């Protein structure tokens, strides 16, 4: 789902990718996603929120039931999905770039997932933060849903997702938080 670029523009000031990062981090924090990882993409960046357990309506589970792992890591995601209680899970990634892209190729395996996490950062480097957020840039939210069965290792991606991306962003409280972020 493409997010409205107006959410990332403050009046007449020319925003930077750092401005977009700040607004996303503030919205993620307000929505309870205090752990996330940044990754470089061509002419932009991606931010990946912590994997969470959700209800059938897309609401995060309350309190300690929401997050099923002690540490934030992509290997933790895999371990959590294989040994977590049965239920529904969601991973939210937000991509900011002026380049077209497609989610194609082989599914992510454990080795690639671990590499991706190690290469992610806790924030954007200054050189990336200083890049302009141009009218050609898009901010897209990608939502990944998983179903965990009762048996260890019984994990399946739900394709297509059960809910629309807009529903996930509303239920996760990211979109309302983003709309409120100054």
Q: What is the pLDDT of residue 113?
A: 39
Q: What is the pLDDT of residue 153?
A: 62
As for how many domains the chain has, the answer is 1
Q: How far apart are CA 148 and CA 152, in angstroms?
A: 9
The contacts of residue 101 (CB under 8 Å, 6+ apart) are 41, 42, 95
Q: How far apart are CA 124 and CA 118, in angstroms?
A: 14
Q: Note down the domain range covering 114.
A: 2-180
Rounded to two decimals, the pTM is: 0.82
| Residues of the chain below pLDDT 50 | 70-72, 108-117
Strand, coil or helix: what is 27?
Answer: helix
Q: What is the pLDDT of residue 174?
A: 96
Q: How far apart are CA 157 and CA 147, in angstroms?
A: 6
Cis peptide before 45 (omega within 30 of 0): no
Contact (Cβ atoms closer than 8 angstroms) between residue 92 and residue 143 = yes
- Average pLDDT along the chain: 81
Q: How far apart are CA 140 and CA 152, in angstroms?
A: 33
Q: What is the pLDDT of residue 149?
A: 73
Q: What is the pLDDT of residue 166?
A: 95
Q: How far apart are CA 41 and CA 98, in angstroms?
A: 10
Name the pairing type of β-strands 87-97 and 44-49. Answer: antiparallel
Phi, psi for residue 51 in degrees, rounded to 5: -60, 135
């Amino acid at each position: 789902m493409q997010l409205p670029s107006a959410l990332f523009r403050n009046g007449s000031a020319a925003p930077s990718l750092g401005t977009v990062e700040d607004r996303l981090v503030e919205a993620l924090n307000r929505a309870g996603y205090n752990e996330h990882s940044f990754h470089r993409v061509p002419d932009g960046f991606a931010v990946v929120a912590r994997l969470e357990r959700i209800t059938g309506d897309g609401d995060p589970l309350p309190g300690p039931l929401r997050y099923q792992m002690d540490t934030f890591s992509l290997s933790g995601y895999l371990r959590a999905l294989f040994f977590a209680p049965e239920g529904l899970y969601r991973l939210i990634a937000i991509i900011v770039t002026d380049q077209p892209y497609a989610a194609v190729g082989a599914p992510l395996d454990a080795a690639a997932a671990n590499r991706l996490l190690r290469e992610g950062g806790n924030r954007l480097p200054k050189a990336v933060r200083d890049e302009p957020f141009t009218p050609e840039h898009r901010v897209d939210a990608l939502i990944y849903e998983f179903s965990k069965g009762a048996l260890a290792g019984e994990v399946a991606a739900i394709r297509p997702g059960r809910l629309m991306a807009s529903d996930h962003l509303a239920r996760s409280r990211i979109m309302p938080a983003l709309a409120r972020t100054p």
